[in-house]
Structure 1
């Protein structure tokens, strides 16, 4: 059917309400007529098989990132988790004290930076390369001047944008978000390196930037452990994951891992305790150093291979289930059993003697042939 006939069919038949729909159909016909039909992949089921749905649970109170920055640690943990399957959930729990805490390494770096700023203000030290503002591109040979410039101009502009977005509603708010999205992203990237967080060292913001869902609980003892444990059990009840990765050394999660294994879930523990209770009940265990160095990502291939082999062997195992066999094939009734007992008792003694006189290796047909001769 040509395009002219197609137009005549739709217009004369009055099957479309407007010419816009006709032209939309013509456009679809024009761009798709020369395309060949998509050949289905015969190995699609094979390629998709074995991809476990992975959920990462991070106990920040017990295992905060210390050797590297929070963003780098979160990204490397995510890459290691992707080796076990499709990572759909990345969850982190901590109380407010964990976000307020500043590691010693960060404290030393801030103290050194403050001393260097004082030397630059006195003119004793001059940087080789100038400090560049990543928002407007201006150059400064004094770090404090860059910070003052950023606060006075760019930070105030950012606050105005945020207030405009918060005061707007409906479609106007959507337009403002789209209008200022690039500028706000550029500001956030620059502020991360220039401004010092007022509280903590930006742990929550860095994890959120890496794609983690971060939850802050109360400062009561074991509040984060209880919330994390409940979240894990809830997801197991909903069957939202097939592989559970726990970042912690806390032995309070032993029962949760045992429950996960009883439900046929794969379990992986990331912790620094070599002989910890969590590693003894998990399917695989890695240290935090192995995650940072990328060693866990390489070893995950062999771990997943063992999981696949065990799944295949489990499918090949056969067990007799009486109730299932009875439902499928039925069972002999009591009347049949009584009839079988009657048939057995009706055998005469002559038949028994005849069977005893015949050799064990002779068949009934052989005895009949001999009688005929």
Structure 2
């Protein structure tokens, strides 16, 4: 019995010591949590005036990607907007028309047996092989295009949860069809400008076929972005001098401005902080220059912080007149000194401004007998 009591007492003291030791170690191991280094990157918005600066004759998807890469050097690209009227989307550039004519001529020669390919044409949807491009196009239109039309109609007629299930079911097939159709089928209207820009991540908007309708819509969109403080850097793709007031307004609001255009000495390039040409964007030169531009912006921001600006409220708090101790100077005792002088003259029998005559002076100097 005694041994059991001794065991309990020893175990209890050991448990108390162990818990105390753990509490002490946990208190000593507490260290302040280090917050992650969060770099506040500038939010960049790309605003593209397609009526003034279409991506001719370069493929739109390639131009849009390179433009986004250059804009990402100035910060995080959050908004990519493009405006144009229906005529811009329906028109076909001269270079695209030439490529289409060459492709049609090649297909005719291939179907006649004049030209033979070493490798057959492969359908990217089902994997079937064809010896001529004409047969591939017919197969694609008869089979896969009709299937795509059925899927789209089925999704459009569905509602609620059934629509969601159909979209999830056909999403991969529809995406596969779109990728294959870009290379096989020729767009019925235009050359696929809107679809290619959407594929690159742009929000494309069609405006009315009126003069400067795209300019007004794009300008209002930019002002709305600035009012809601959604961007800190504006990248404008245009040579139209009508956007000069918007660029000036952006600079007054301390936003960074970048202009992309072909005009070497345009109004927009003179107003904006920096500018690039299409050639610099495509060749990759703009991305290299953007690094030095960002460094210059950082140096300019530091110098602005170091500049002294007069703020009466802040200066009043720093230098309160009530806290200033005024030291007494000797000049403040001048009045007392003057009063003493006046008293001396009064004791002498006259005012200080009354001068003594010569007779009075001689009488005072002669001694009395």
Output the TM-score relative to the length of structure 1. 0.78
* Counterpart selection for 1:318 from 308, 322, 343: 308
What displacement does 1:161 show? 0.8
Q: Where does 1:9-20 land on structure 2 (aligned, <5 Å)?
A: none
Tell me, yes or no, if structure 1 residue 185 matches structure 2 residue 185. no
- Cα distance in 2 between the residues matched to 1:316 and 1:54: 26
Query: What per-residue deviation string (whole Å, max 9, x for no partner) do you get for residues 30-69 of structure 1?
Result: xxxxxxx999666604xx14x1110000010111111421
* Counterpart selection for 2:252 from 246, 262, 273: 262
Tell me, yes or no, if structure 1 residue 105 matches structure 2 residue 90. no
What displacement does 1:141 show? 1.2
Gap change, CA 1:320 and 1:140, over 3 Å in 2: same
RMSD, matched Cα: 2.7
- Cα distance in 1 between the residues matched to 2:219 and 2:308: 35
- Cα distance in 2 between the residues matched to 1:293 and 1:41: 43
- Cα distance in 2 between the residues matched to 1:349 and 1:91: 82
Unaligned runs of 5+ in 2: 1-29, 341-369
Q: Where does 1:143-182 land on structure 2 (aligned, <5 Å)?
A: 143-182=133-172
- Please name the residue that 1:22 is paired with: none
- Please name the residue that 1:286 is paired with: 276
Tell me, yes or no, if structure 1 residue 348 matches structure 2 residue 338. no
Tell me, yes or no, if structure 1 residue 236 matches structure 2 residue 223. no
* Counterpart selection for 1:298 from 279, 288, 292: 288
- Cα distance in 2 between the residues matched to 1:196 and 1:156: 16
What displacement does 1:89 show? 0.3
- Please name the residue that 2:131 is paired with: 141
Query: What per-residue deviation string (whole Å, max 9, x for no partner) do you get for residues 112-144 of structure 1?
Result: 111112112222222222111000111111111
Query: What per-residue deviation string (whole Å, max 9, x for no partner) do you get for residues 170-213 of structure 1?
Result: 11111111111110010000001111111000000000000000
Tell me, yes or no, if structure 1 residue 52 matches structure 2 residue 42. yes
8 Å CA contact 2:237, 2:259 repeated in 1:
yes
- Cα distance in 2 between the residues matched to 1:208 and 1:245: 18
- Cα distance in 1 between the residues matched to 2:178 and 2:257: 36
- Cα distance in 2 between the residues matched to 1:265 and 1:303: 14
* Counterpart selection for 1:88 from 73, 78, 102: 78
Worse-matched range after superposition: 99-108 or 343-352 = 343-352
DSSP-derived class of the 1:83 partner: helix
Tell me, yes or no, if structure 1 residue 227 matches structure 2 residue 214. no
Query: What per-residue deviation string (whole Å, max 9, x for no partner) do you get for residues 142-184 of structure 1?
Result: 1111000000000000111111111111111111111111100
Query: What per-residue deviation string (whole Å, max 9, x for no partner) do you get for residues 221-262 of structure 1?
Result: 000000001111111111111000000011111111011001
Aligned residues: 309
- Please name the residue that 1:208 is paired with: 198
- Cα distance in 1 between the residues matched to 2:242 and 2:220: 12
Unaligned runs of 5+ in 1: 1-36, 354-373
Output the TM-score relative to the length of structure 2. 0.78
- Cα distance in 2 between the residues matched to 1:222 and 1:269: 19
Query: What per-residue deviation string (whole Å, max 9, x for no partner) do you get for residues 73-109 of structure 1?
Result: 0000000000000000000000011001101111001
- Cα distance in 1 between the residues matched to 2:241 and 2:319: 49
DSSP-derived class of the 1:216 partner: strand
User: Structure 1 stretches (4+) deviating beyond 2 angstroms?
Assistant: 37-43, 323-333, 343-353
DSSP-derived class of the 2:58 partner: coil
- Cα distance in 1 between the residues matched to 2:290 and 2:153: 47
DSSP-derived class of the 2:45 partner: strand
- Cα distance in 2 between the residues matched to 1:39 and 1:243: 36
Worse-matched range after superposition: 220-229 or 307-316 = 307-316
Tell me, yes or no, if structure 1 residue 78 matches structure 2 residue 68. yes
DSSP-derived class of the 2:115 partner: coil
- Cα distance in 2 between the residues matched to 1:130 and 1:171: 43
What displacement does 1:315 show? 1.2
DSSP-derived class of the 1:240 partner: coil
- Cα distance in 2 between the residues matched to 1:38 and 1:228: 52
